[in-house]
Amino acid sequence: MSKAPHLVVLTGAGISAESGIQTFRAADGLWADHPIEDVATPEGWARDPQRVLSFYDARRDQVRGARPNAAHRALANLEARGFEVSIVTQNIDDLHERAGSRRVLHLHGEIMMARSSVDERMRYPLGRRNIAMGDVCDRGSQLRPDVVWFGEAVPAYQDACEIVAEADLLLVVGTSLAVMPAAALINELPFDADCVLVDPDESLRVPAGVARLVMPAGEGVPALTRHWQREGRLF
Ligand code: APR
């Protein structure tokens, strides 16, 4: 019995840009105003944890105020129509889940979760709360945002590799592919699988053999999913 073709979607900050969430590397991106070494490294956390918590409080507030856009909704809708869709996201927001996607792997963690600063397996949903100094895990260690910082291991990477290795088609949306190991996931794609990239930046360097739509996610992704739904298949 042949199984349904598997669409794997690798998303980055650009898919949430039209929901009002800042990307990282644009001229007005997050890293222009916030030194990475101060807010997104273990060393920054050791130096000034309150500064790190405040930075992520602002990110969390931005996510709480945002809503999934047409691109998130189109992917969730495709899955609801019976297509096999897995999302591997570099984003820490929960907009894929709020749009209705059920198979979402967060490579870089989740802003709506806290974790123990000494044991990454001790994780707690934050709900409407933020994290304060003095908030501790069940073993008494300070809580930190459940996000992967520069210089840290990416625990979900092996699972992500396995998902991409099962893809018949990889759709890459809104990522500059500037950060390892996420950018290397494309190399896990089977040799006979296709890859399509949606990003409005025409200067983005794209690996050989990748087809591209130079347009915002909110246009490009629904255009692709409409096409697949009309055809009733990915190919
Ligand atoms: N639709 C689609 N793509 C867009 C849109 C849009 N409306 N607006 C911007 N983009 C694209 C940009 O052209 C760029 O290629 O989104 C990409 C965003 O790139 P980055 O800011 O580098 O974000 P990302 O690739 O997700 O960063 C990867 O770096 O610091 C980290 O951990 C952080 O997960 C993040 C990782």
> Which domains, from first to last, does the chain contain?
6-231 (3.40.50.1220)
In single-letter form, the type of residue at position 119 comes to D
Whole-prediction pTM: 0.96
In the reported structure, the alpha carbon of residue 39 is separated from the centroid of ligand 1 by a whole-number distance in angstroms of 18
Whether 59 has a pLDDT exceeding 80, the answer reads: yes
What digits encode the pLDDT tens for the residues 135-176? 999 999 999 999 999 999 999 999 999 999 999 999 999 999
Whether 1 has a pLDDT exceeding 90, the answer reads: no
Measured CA to CA, the distance from residue 108 to residue 199 in angstroms comes to: 20
The pLDDT value given to residue 126: 97
In the reported structure, the alpha carbon of residue 104 is separated from the centroid of ligand 1 by a whole-number distance in angstroms of 18
Identify whether the C-beta of residue 8 lies closer than 8 Å to the C-beta of residue 167.
yes
Catalytic residue among 6, 96, 106, 108: 108
Whether 3 has a pLDDT exceeding 80, the answer reads: no
**What mean pLDDT is predicted for residues 194-199?**
97
In single-letter form, the type of residue at position 106 comes to H
The pLDDT value given to residue 209: 86
Nearest CA, atom 23, ligand 1: 13
Q: Please name the residues in contact with 132: beta carbons below 8 A apart, sequence gap of 6 or more.
A: 53
Work out the pLDDT band at 2, boundaries 50, 70, 90.
low
Whether 55 has a pLDDT exceeding 80, the answer reads: yes
Q: Which atom of ligand 1 is nearest to the CA of 217?
A: 1
Question: Strands, E, within the chain: which ranges?
Answer: 6-11, 84-89, 104-106, 109-116, 123-125, 143-147, 169-173, 194-198, 211-213
Whether 232 has a pLDDT exceeding 90, the answer reads: no
pLDDT-above-70 percentage for the chain? 99
Identify whether the C-beta of residue 141 lies closer than 8 Å to the C-beta of residue 32.
no
Average pLDDT along the chain: 96
| Cα Rg of the chain (Å, integer) | 18
In the reported structure, the alpha carbon of residue 190 is separated from the centroid of ligand 1 by a whole-number distance in angstroms of 24
Which range (198-202, 212-216, 229-233) has the least confidence? 229-233
Q: Which residues line ligand 1 (CB under 6 A)?
A: 12-15, 17-18, 23-25, 29, 90, 108, 174-176, 178-179, 199-201, 204, 216-217
Identify whether the C-beta of residue 18 lies closer than 8 Å to the C-beta of residue 218.
yes
Structure tokens at 157: 């990477």
Structure tokens at 83: 């297509």
Mark whether 96 is an active-site residue: no
**What mean pLDDT is predicted for residues 10-15?**
98
**ipTM greater than cut 0.90:** yes
